[in-house]
Structure 1
Amino acid sequence: MKALLYKDIIILKNNSVVISILSFFLIIAIISGNVDIAYLIATFGLVIFFIIIFESDYKNNFYKYIISNAVDEKSIVIYRYFLIFSTVISVFLFNFLIAFVTGYDKTFYRFLLFSSINILLYEILIPIFFRFGKIAIAVTNVIGTVIYIVGVFYLIKNNTILKFEIGNKLNIFIILIIIDLILFVFSFLLSLKFIKRRIS
């Protein structure tokens, strides 16, 4: 698992410019009061980052290499889920803390909802990436870009800034958490099955 961590740190360093630009726009969005836009920027940035990681794995045939060095498939899958989930929670928690300090968002539910929805997204994407590899990554890139462009044009055309009225909606968060937990079991088992099939 250390080898995977070192590889991801190297990827992070190699893409520091992209990450810095996204972070800059994220912070600007928060301190200007557009908290929901900031959360969406973070969502888009995380998708880009994790696609780069998976793409690097397949491009360099890294899974077969690391398996040949006595790392089992289960450790790889556990590490990948841990990295993605912990990064999602850390990024959105960082967003919340900045928004809280600046006074633009005192609602913790926004952090909970965006984190839960993002984790749900990756529970769907991770097994797909393990199963279909570069094809799934390319398709996700295209779909993500189209959704982003359409969203930007929609905002410009309607001259509106996204605002989600998130009040005391704990029931929505609880439902999302239950779905996340149930889906995680299937997602993890599928990922383990698919990576074994790909490496063998």
Structure 2
Amino acid sequence: MKALLYKDIIVLKNNLVAISMISFFLIIAIISGNVDISYLIASFGLIILFIKIFESDYKNGFYKYVISNAVEEKSIVTYKYLFILSAAILVFLFNFLLAFVTGYDKTFYRFLVFLSINIFLYEILIPIFFRFGKIAIDIVNVVGTVVYITGVFYIVKNDTFLKFEIGNKLNIFVILIIIDLILFVFSFLLSLKFIRRKIS
């Protein structure tokens, strides 16, 4: 898995300008009090970077290369999920901590909502990327941009996206966690099936 991580780090290094711009706008959004927009920027930015990683995999024939060097398909899929979900948790946790320190958001509410929604989204997208490759990546680029712009306009118009606190809505997160866990099993198994089909 070290080789897989090293490859993805190289891809991210090649996109330092994009990472810097996303980080800049995220921090500006938080310190200006637009916490919902900052989480939306983080969501959109992560999807862009993950798409860049998948694009690099297909462009360079990476999966066939690593498997020809005795790396199992299961290791590749396991790594992908660990990398993407860990990166999402770290980015949203940073977002929450910055919002907490600046005093604009003192609850876990936005962190939990955006994280659970993003995990749900990645669990859908990862097997789709493994199955359809470049076509799926191009479609997600277009759809993601439209959703992002729509979300920004909605937040600006309504001044906020999430209007209730976590205390009286804890059941929502229990349901989201259960859905994420169930979907994860199906998502992982589908990804494993699709990558084997791609390579065979």
1:162 aligned to which of 136, 160, 163? 160
- What TM-score do you get using the length of structure 2 for normalisation? 0.95
CA contact (8 A) 2:154 2:161 kept: no
CA contact (8 A) 1:31 1:99 kept: yes
- What TM-score do you get using the length of structure 1 for normalisation? 0.95
Which range is displaced more, 146-155 or 27-36? 146-155
The AA in structure 2 aligned to 1:125 is L
Distance in 2 between residues matched to 1:113 and 1:17, nearest whole Å: 28
What SS class does the counterpart of residue 58 from structure 1 fall into? Answer: helix
Q: CA deviation at 1:24?
A: 0.4
The AA in structure 1 aligned to 2:21 is I
Number of residue-to-residue matches in the alignment:
198
Structure 1 runs of 4+ aligned residues shifted over 4 Å read 152-156
1:47 is the counterpart of 2:50 = no
Residue identity over aligned pairs, in percent, reads 77
Distance in 2 between residues matched to 1:66 and 1:190, nearest whole Å: 20
User: Deviation string for 1:17-67 (max 9, x for gaps)?
Assistant: 110000000011111111110000000000000000001000000000000
Distance in 1 between residues matched to 2:170 and 2:151, nearest whole Å: 27
Q: Where does residue 180 of structure 1 map in the other structure?
A: 180
Which range is displaced more, 102-111 or 122-131? 102-111
1:90 is the counterpart of 2:90 = yes
CA contact (8 A) 2:127 2:187 kept: yes
Q: CA deviation at 1:110?
A: 1.5
Q: CA deviation at 1:165?
A: 1.4
CA contact (8 A) 2:155 2:161 kept: no
CA RMSD of aligned residues (A): 1.3
CA contact (8 A) 1:107 1:166 kept: no
Distance in 2 between residues matched to 1:133 and 1:163, nearest whole Å: 32
Q: CA deviation at 1:166?
A: 3.2
Distance in 2 between residues matched to 1:166 and 1:68, nearest whole Å: 52
Q: Where does residue 26 of structure 2 map in the other structure?
A: 26
Residues 97 and 153 (structure 1), Cα distance of their counterparts in 2 relative to 1, 3 Å cut = closer
CA contact (8 A) 1:123 1:184 kept: yes
Q: CA deviation at 1:154?
A: 5.0
Q: Where does residue 79 of structure 1 map in the other structure?
A: 79
Q: CA deviation at 1:114?
A: 1.0
